[in-house]
Structure 1
Amino acid sequence: MSASQSRSSSLAWGPLLLGGLLVALGDMAFAATLWFGWDGAGMLRLFQTIAVGVLGPASFDGGLNAALLGGALHVFMATAIVLIYALVARRHRGLLDGVWRYGLPYGVVLYLAMNFVVMPLSRVGRSPSFDHPDWIAWSVLAHMLFGVICVVFARRALRR
């Protein structure tokens, strides 16, 4: 492998972290707008809800500490989904060519993975949104946008 190939396949962590932060903020804004509200109690509940995946229902008795854990988990997961796309795209460079063409379906994959793999394996279990088809539609659309953000920042992380 030449030096230029090595440089082109190395990851720049700044864009990965920024992309993860933007996905996390976007998802937070989406959830706050649709379900929790923007006041202090709503935001506390939002992040406690994320911490349920680790703490179970006790998360809601955990106050600010549970919410901080939920916030950290949220940013970690969002950054991980940008990193995963970048790692796959590093091997399959064509995935970096179409931000919309690959970002939109990646977002659908993210929605499916979160709702049918991650949440059921955590202490959350089945998503309550499955009882509301309108929530599902909005969630899929939001995740499609998050997928586009992942592709944009994976491209930047791979210095392309």
Structure 2
Amino acid sequence: MKSKTETIFLSGLIAGTLDVTAAIVVYGFILQKTTPIKLLQSIASGIFKKEAYEGGTKMAWYGLSLHFLIAMTFAWFYFVIYPYLPFLKRNPLISGLLYGFFVWIVMNLIVLPIAFPALPEKHLDFTLIISILILMFCIGLPIAFITRKYYSSNR
């Protein structure tokens, strides 16, 4: 990686792409709980509320854009804290998985309850475990490994 910006952008882009792809495959095709358009509209509904579901593909594009903005933000945050937390440098596999779990906590216990105050209560079930695993493997790991590569090659 040549620059900090390039590293953050690449890790956010890869993590965001893996995450949205996993969500579409798991929730849209395997579990058949939603469609790709509805899934993306639900992301947009964090800002546009009910209007997101009436806005067709335009709102799906807004949802996708918001999704990547969030992924870039988490990539930026990890990149910034990496030099200050020695345990992140020891093992990118463990730190990536833990960071993915941290992302799940932030999104599900802070961000989503603020955006959607009437969310149903969470229960430890298959869907919850899948959502955690998706963020651990699709967000945490790529961000951890790409950030480590940048810092290792730019000592």
TM-score, with length taken from structure 1: 0.81
Tell me, yes or no, if structure 1 residue 17 matches structure 2 residue 9. Answer: yes
Question: What's 2:82 paired with?
Answer: 89
Query: Alignment length, in residue pairs?
Result: 148
Deviations 1:91-131 (A, max 9, x none): 23442231012111111111111100011111475267x35
The answer (yes or no) to whether the contact 2:28–2:35 under 8 Å persists in 1 is yes
The answer (yes or no) to whether the contact 1:99–1:148 under 8 Å persists in 2 is yes
Give the distance between the partners of 1:90 and 1:33, measured in 2 at CA.
35
Of all paired residues, the percent bearing the same amino acid is 22
Question: What's 1:118 paired with?
Answer: 111
Residues 58 and 132 of structure 1: CA distance in aligned 2, closer, same or farther (over 3 Å): farther
Secondary structure in structure 2 of the residue aligned to 1:35: helix
Structure 1, 27-36 or 106-115: larger mean CA deviation: 27-36
Give the distance between the partners of 2:16 and 2:142, measured in 1 at CA.
11
The answer (yes or no) to whether the contact 2:38–2:53 under 8 Å persists in 1 is yes
The answer (yes or no) to whether the contact 2:87–2:95 under 8 Å persists in 1 is no
Which amino acid in the other structure matches residue 15 of structure 1?
A: T
Structure 2: gaps of 5 or more residues: none
Structure 1: gaps of 5 or more residues: 1-10
Tell me, yes or no, if structure 1 residue 53 matches structure 2 residue 46. Answer: yes
Residues 63 and 132 of structure 1: CA distance in aligned 2, closer, same or farther (over 3 Å): farther
Residues 148 and 134 of structure 1: CA distance in aligned 2, closer, same or farther (over 3 Å): same
Residues 156 and 16 of structure 1: CA distance in aligned 2, closer, same or farther (over 3 Å): farther
TM-score, with length taken from structure 2: 0.83
Question: What's 2:148 paired with?
Answer: 155
Pick from 101, 106, 116 the counterpart of residue 108 of structure 1: 101
Deviating runs (4+, > 4 A) in structure 1?
Answer: none
Which amino acid in the other structure matches residue 54 of structure 2?
A: D
Give the distance between the partners of 1:72 and 1:156, measured in 2 at CA.
26
The answer (yes or no) to whether the contact 1:103–1:149 under 8 Å persists in 2 is yes
The answer (yes or no) to whether the contact 1:115–1:126 under 8 Å persists in 2 is no
Secondary structure in structure 2 of the residue aligned to 1:76: helix
Tell me, yes or no, if structure 1 residue 44 matches structure 2 residue 37. Answer: yes
